[in-house]
Protein backbone atom coordinates (compact mmCIF):
# COMPACT_ATOMS: atom_id res chain seq x y z
CA UNK A 1 0.00 0.00 0.00
CA UNK A 2 1.40 3.43 -0.96
CA UNK A 3 1.91 5.38 2.26
CA UNK A 4 3.35 8.75 1.27
CA UNK A 5 1.38 11.97 0.86
CA UNK A 6 2.75 15.06 -0.85
CA UNK A 7 4.05 17.69 1.66
CA UNK A 8 3.89 15.28 4.61
CA UNK A 9 7.13 14.49 6.46
CA UNK A 10 8.64 11.09 7.28
CA UNK A 11 11.64 9.61 9.07
CA UNK A 12 14.38 7.85 7.14
CA UNK A 13 13.37 4.46 8.61
CA UNK A 14 10.02 4.78 6.85
CA UNK A 15 11.71 5.44 3.50
CA UNK A 16 13.98 2.43 3.92
CA UNK A 17 11.07 0.21 4.89
CA UNK A 18 9.09 1.19 1.79
CA UNK A 19 11.76 0.05 -0.69
CA UNK A 20 13.09 -2.78 1.48
CA UNK A 21 16.54 -1.30 2.03
CA UNK A 22 18.96 -1.19 4.96
CA UNK A 23 21.57 1.11 3.43
CA UNK A 24 23.17 3.61 5.78
CA UNK A 25 23.85 6.50 3.40
CA UNK A 26 21.52 9.18 2.10
CA UNK A 27 20.92 10.17 -1.50
CA UNK A 28 19.60 7.40 -3.74
CA UNK A 29 17.77 4.70 -1.78
CA UNK A 30 16.77 1.41 -3.40
CA UNK A 31 16.49 -2.31 -2.83
CA UNK A 32 19.89 -3.70 -3.83
CA UNK A 33 18.43 -7.23 -4.10
CA UNK A 34 16.24 -6.16 -7.02
CA UNK A 35 18.17 -6.00 -10.30
CA UNK A 36 15.88 -3.43 -11.91
CA UNK A 37 13.65 -1.81 -9.24
CA UNK A 38 10.37 -0.18 -10.27
CA UNK A 39 11.04 2.82 -8.04
CA UNK A 40 13.84 4.50 -6.13
CA UNK A 41 13.76 7.10 -3.38
CA UNK A 42 16.03 10.13 -3.54
CA UNK A 43 16.62 12.61 -0.72
CA UNK A 44 17.53 16.18 -1.62
CA UNK A 45 19.15 18.92 0.45
CA UNK A 46 20.48 18.81 4.00
CA UNK A 47 23.66 20.29 5.46
CA UNK A 48 25.98 17.62 4.02
CA UNK A 49 24.73 18.23 0.48
CA UNK A 50 25.32 21.98 0.69
CA UNK A 51 28.81 21.45 2.09
CA UNK A 52 29.58 19.23 -0.89
CA UNK A 53 28.60 21.90 -3.39
CA UNK A 54 25.32 20.23 -4.44
CA UNK A 55 22.70 22.72 -5.56
CA UNK A 56 19.53 20.67 -5.87
CA UNK A 57 16.67 23.00 -6.70
CA UNK A 58 13.11 23.22 -7.91
CA UNK A 59 12.42 25.21 -11.08
CA UNK A 60 9.36 27.38 -11.65
CA UNK A 61 7.96 24.80 -14.10
CA UNK A 62 7.91 22.16 -11.35
CA UNK A 63 10.99 20.27 -12.53
CA UNK A 64 14.01 19.65 -10.28
CA UNK A 65 17.77 19.55 -10.64
CA UNK A 66 19.15 16.67 -8.59
CA UNK A 67 22.86 15.97 -8.08
CA UNK A 68 24.01 12.35 -8.29
CA UNK A 69 25.84 10.17 -5.80
CA UNK A 70 29.58 9.81 -5.31
CA UNK A 71 31.55 11.37 -2.48
CA UNK A 72 35.02 11.89 -3.97
CA UNK A 73 36.40 12.93 -7.36
CA UNK A 74 34.34 12.98 -10.55
CA UNK A 75 30.95 11.33 -10.29
CA UNK A 76 30.18 8.37 -12.52
CA UNK A 77 26.65 8.29 -14.01
CA UNK A 78 26.92 4.51 -14.41
CA UNK A 79 27.60 3.40 -10.83
CA UNK A 80 25.02 1.04 -9.32
CA UNK A 81 23.15 3.92 -7.66
CA UNK A 82 23.39 6.64 -10.31
CA UNK A 83 22.60 4.22 -13.13
CA UNK A 84 19.06 3.82 -11.75
CA UNK A 85 18.50 7.46 -12.69
CA UNK A 86 20.74 7.52 -15.77
CA UNK A 87 18.82 4.62 -17.33
CA UNK A 88 15.55 6.53 -16.78
CA UNK A 89 13.72 3.29 -15.94
CA UNK A 90 12.58 3.73 -12.37
CA UNK A 91 9.89 5.99 -10.98
CA UNK A 92 11.55 8.47 -8.63
CA UNK A 93 10.05 9.33 -5.23
CA UNK A 94 11.61 12.66 -4.27
CA UNK A 95 11.96 13.82 -0.66
CA UNK A 96 13.49 17.09 0.52
CA UNK A 97 15.52 17.03 3.73
CA UNK A 98 14.71 19.13 6.78
CA UNK A 99 17.16 19.45 9.65
CA UNK A 100 15.51 19.26 13.09
CA UNK A 101 15.42 22.42 15.19
CA UNK A 102 16.59 22.57 18.82
CA UNK A 103 13.06 22.25 20.21
CA UNK A 104 12.30 19.14 18.16
CA UNK A 105 15.61 17.54 19.09
CA UNK A 106 14.86 18.10 22.78
CA UNK A 107 11.29 16.80 22.51
CA UNK A 108 12.19 13.72 20.44
CA UNK A 109 15.46 12.96 22.19
CA UNK A 110 17.34 12.50 18.91
CA UNK A 111 18.62 14.37 15.87
CA UNK A 112 16.85 12.32 13.22
CA UNK A 113 16.09 14.36 10.12
CA UNK A 114 12.64 14.62 8.57
CA UNK A 115 11.99 14.14 4.86
CA UNK A 116 9.13 15.90 3.05
CA UNK A 117 7.55 14.03 0.15
CA UNK A 118 7.68 16.23 -2.97
CA UNK A 119 5.98 13.75 -5.31
CA UNK A 120 6.73 11.20 -8.00
CA UNK A 121 9.10 12.18 -10.81
CA UNK A 122 10.67 10.81 -13.98
CA UNK A 123 14.20 11.54 -15.21
CA UNK A 124 13.87 13.78 -18.26
CA UNK A 125 17.60 14.17 -19.00
CA UNK A 126 21.01 14.29 -17.35
CA UNK A 127 24.42 15.88 -17.80
CA UNK A 128 27.54 16.95 -15.90
CA UNK A 129 28.65 20.24 -14.34
CA UNK A 130 31.86 21.31 -12.63
CA UNK A 131 31.32 22.15 -8.93
CA UNK A 132 32.25 25.77 -8.29
CA UNK A 133 32.21 25.68 -4.49
CA UNK A 134 32.29 23.38 -1.46
CA UNK A 135 34.63 20.49 -0.83
CA UNK A 136 33.87 19.13 -4.32
CA UNK A 137 35.13 22.24 -6.12
CA UNK A 138 36.57 21.30 -9.51
CA UNK A 139 34.90 17.86 -9.63
CA UNK A 140 32.56 16.84 -12.43
CA UNK A 141 29.15 16.20 -10.86
CA UNK A 142 26.19 14.45 -12.48
CA UNK A 143 22.96 16.49 -12.54
CA UNK A 144 19.59 14.94 -13.33
CA UNK A 145 16.59 16.95 -14.55
CA UNK A 146 13.46 15.50 -12.96
CA UNK A 147 9.95 16.19 -14.21
CA UNK A 148 6.75 15.50 -12.24
CA UNK A 149 5.08 12.26 -13.23
CA UNK A 150 1.31 11.79 -13.13
CA UNK A 151 0.65 11.91 -9.41
CA UNK A 152 -2.46 9.93 -8.50
CA UNK A 153 -1.83 10.08 -4.77
CA UNK A 154 -2.48 13.74 -3.95
CA UNK A 155 -3.76 16.86 -5.71
CA UNK A 156 -5.02 15.09 -8.82
CA UNK A 157 -4.12 16.60 -12.14
CA UNK A 158 -7.52 16.82 -13.79
CA UNK A 159 -7.09 14.92 -17.05
CA UNK A 160 -10.11 16.36 -18.81
CA UNK A 161 -10.66 17.94 -22.21
CA UNK A 162 -13.43 19.73 -24.02
CA UNK A 163 -16.17 17.48 -25.41
CA UNK A 164 -15.01 15.68 -28.60
CA UNK A 165 -17.15 17.87 -30.88
CA UNK A 166 -14.94 20.86 -29.95
CA UNK A 167 -11.64 19.01 -30.15
CA UNK A 168 -9.34 17.97 -32.95
CA UNK A 169 -10.03 14.63 -34.57
CA UNK A 170 -7.90 11.60 -33.71
CA UNK A 171 -6.30 11.73 -37.15
CA UNK A 172 -5.37 15.41 -36.72
CA UNK A 173 -3.93 14.74 -33.28
CA UNK A 174 -1.91 11.78 -34.57
CA UNK A 175 -0.37 14.00 -37.28
CA UNK A 176 0.57 16.61 -34.67
CA UNK A 177 2.10 13.99 -32.37
CA UNK A 178 4.19 12.51 -35.17
CA UNK A 179 5.38 15.98 -36.18
CA UNK A 180 6.38 16.80 -32.58
CA UNK A 181 8.22 13.49 -32.21
CA UNK A 182 10.20 13.94 -35.44
CA UNK A 183 11.07 17.52 -34.50
CA UNK A 184 12.24 16.52 -31.02
CA UNK A 185 14.38 13.64 -32.26
CA UNK A 186 15.98 15.45 -35.21
CA UNK A 187 19.61 15.90 -34.28
CA UNK A 188 18.85 16.24 -30.56
CA UNK A 189 19.83 14.03 -27.65
CA UNK A 190 17.75 15.87 -25.06
CA UNK A 191 14.33 17.48 -24.96
CA UNK A 192 13.31 20.49 -22.93
CA UNK A 193 10.66 20.48 -20.23
CA UNK A 194 8.42 22.58 -22.49
CA UNK A 195 8.79 20.09 -25.37
CA UNK A 196 8.01 17.23 -23.00
CA UNK A 197 4.86 18.95 -21.75
CA UNK A 198 3.65 19.83 -25.25
CA UNK A 199 4.01 16.28 -26.54
CA UNK A 200 2.59 14.81 -23.35
CA UNK A 201 -0.50 17.03 -23.57
CA UNK A 202 -1.15 15.98 -27.17
CA UNK A 203 -0.87 12.28 -26.31
CA UNK A 204 -3.09 12.64 -23.23
CA UNK A 205 -5.70 14.43 -25.29
CA UNK A 206 -5.49 11.65 -27.88
CA UNK A 207 -6.04 8.95 -25.23
CA UNK A 208 -9.03 10.74 -23.72
CA UNK A 209 -10.61 11.31 -27.11
CA UNK A 210 -9.98 7.69 -28.14
CA UNK A 211 -11.62 6.35 -24.96
CA UNK A 212 -14.97 8.08 -25.71
CA UNK A 213 -15.56 8.35 -21.97
CA UNK A 214 -15.06 4.63 -21.28
CA UNK A 215 -12.25 3.31 -19.06
CA UNK A 216 -9.86 1.46 -21.33
CA UNK A 217 -9.23 -1.23 -18.72
CA UNK A 218 -12.50 -2.14 -16.99
CA UNK A 219 -14.54 -0.79 -19.93
CA UNK A 220 -17.01 1.01 -17.66
CA UNK A 221 -18.16 4.63 -18.12
CA UNK A 222 -16.17 7.42 -16.44
CA UNK A 223 -17.31 7.95 -12.82
CA UNK A 224 -18.57 11.51 -13.44
CA UNK A 225 -18.70 14.42 -15.89
CA UNK A 226 -16.49 17.46 -15.30
CA UNK A 227 -17.58 21.11 -15.33
CA UNK A 228 -16.34 21.27 -18.92
CA UNK A 229 -18.81 18.53 -19.84
CA UNK A 230 -16.13 15.89 -20.40
CA UNK A 231 -15.99 12.39 -18.83
CA UNK A 232 -13.40 12.28 -16.02
CA UNK A 233 -10.65 9.77 -16.76
CA UNK A 234 -6.97 9.82 -15.79
CA UNK A 235 -4.26 9.15 -18.37
CA UNK A 236 -1.87 6.37 -17.38
CA UNK A 237 1.50 5.79 -19.01
CA UNK A 238 1.69 2.04 -19.63
CA UNK A 239 5.42 2.43 -20.14
CA UNK A 240 7.56 5.04 -18.46
CA UNK A 241 9.55 7.88 -19.99
CA UNK A 242 12.47 5.55 -20.74
CA UNK A 243 10.17 3.51 -23.00
CA UNK A 244 8.88 6.59 -24.87
CA UNK A 245 5.64 6.37 -22.91
CA UNK A 246 4.71 10.06 -23.10
CA UNK A 247 5.33 10.26 -26.86
CA UNK A 248 3.31 7.44 -28.36
CA UNK A 249 -0.50 7.04 -28.22
CA UNK A 250 -0.25 3.24 -27.96
CA UNK A 251 1.70 3.61 -24.70
CA UNK A 252 -0.98 5.48 -22.76
CA UNK A 253 -4.48 4.58 -21.60
CA UNK A 254 -7.42 6.57 -20.23
CA UNK A 255 -8.43 4.91 -16.95
CA UNK A 256 -10.96 5.45 -14.19
CA UNK A 257 -9.36 6.32 -10.80
CA UNK A 258 -9.76 2.77 -9.43
CA UNK A 259 -8.09 1.14 -12.44
CA UNK A 260 -5.34 3.78 -12.36
CA UNK A 261 -4.45 2.78 -8.81
CA UNK A 262 -4.62 -0.89 -9.73
CA UNK A 263 -2.20 -0.26 -12.60
CA UNK A 264 0.30 1.22 -10.13
CA UNK A 265 -0.08 -0.90 -7.00
CA UNK A 266 -1.76 -4.21 -7.79
CA UNK A 267 0.24 -7.32 -7.05
CA UNK A 268 -0.54 -8.40 -10.61
CA UNK A 269 0.34 -5.05 -12.24
CA UNK A 270 2.87 -6.69 -14.58
CA UNK A 271 0.20 -8.93 -16.09
CA UNK A 272 -2.22 -6.01 -16.09
CA UNK A 273 0.29 -3.91 -18.05
CA UNK A 274 0.58 -6.56 -20.76
CA UNK A 275 -3.20 -6.94 -21.02
CA UNK A 276 -3.71 -3.20 -21.17
CA UNK A 277 -1.07 -2.79 -23.87
CA UNK A 278 -2.82 -5.44 -26.01
CA UNK A 279 -6.16 -3.69 -25.55
CA UNK A 280 -4.76 -0.34 -26.59
CA UNK A 281 -2.92 -1.79 -29.57
CA UNK A 282 -6.16 -3.27 -30.85
CA UNK A 283 -7.65 0.26 -30.92
CA UNK A 284 -4.78 2.23 -32.43
Q: Which residue has the higher pLDDT, 200 or 213?
A: 213
pLDDT at 70: 83
Determine, yes or no, domain membership for 184: yes
- Residue 137: domain span: 9-148
Residues 122 and 168 in one domain: no
Assess whether pLDDT exceeds 70 at residue 51.
no
> Looking at the domain assignment, is residue 156 inside a domain?
no
Count of the separate structural domains present in the chain: 2
232 and 121 share a domain? no
pLDDT surpassing 70 at residue 73: yes
pLDDT band of 121, cuts 50, 70, 90 = confident
Q: What are the residues whose beta carbons fall under 8 Å from the beta carbon of 270, sequence distance 6 or more?
A: none
Lowest mean pLDDT among 50-54, 128-132, 219-223, 275-279: 50-54
User: Do 189 and 141 sit in the same domain of this protein?
Assistant: no
Q: Is there a single domain that holds both residue 144 and residue 26? A: yes
The residues with which 121 forms a beta bridge, in sequence order, are 92, 148
Q: Give the DSSP per-residue string, 123-176.
A: EEEEEEEE--SGGGTT-EEEEEEEEEPP--SSS--------GGGSPPHHHHHHH
Number of H helices, E strands in the chain: 8, 10
- Residue 63's SS3 state is coil
Domain end among 90, 121, 148: 148
Amino acid sequence: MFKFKVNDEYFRDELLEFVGSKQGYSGIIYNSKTKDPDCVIITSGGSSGKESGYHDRRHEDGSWDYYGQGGKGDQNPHTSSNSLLTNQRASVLLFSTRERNAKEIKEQGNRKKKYKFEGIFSVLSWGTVVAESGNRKGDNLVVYRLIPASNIFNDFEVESIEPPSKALSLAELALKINAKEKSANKGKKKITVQEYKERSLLVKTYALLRSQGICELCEKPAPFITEKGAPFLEVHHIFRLADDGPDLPENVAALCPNCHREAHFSGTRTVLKDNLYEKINSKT
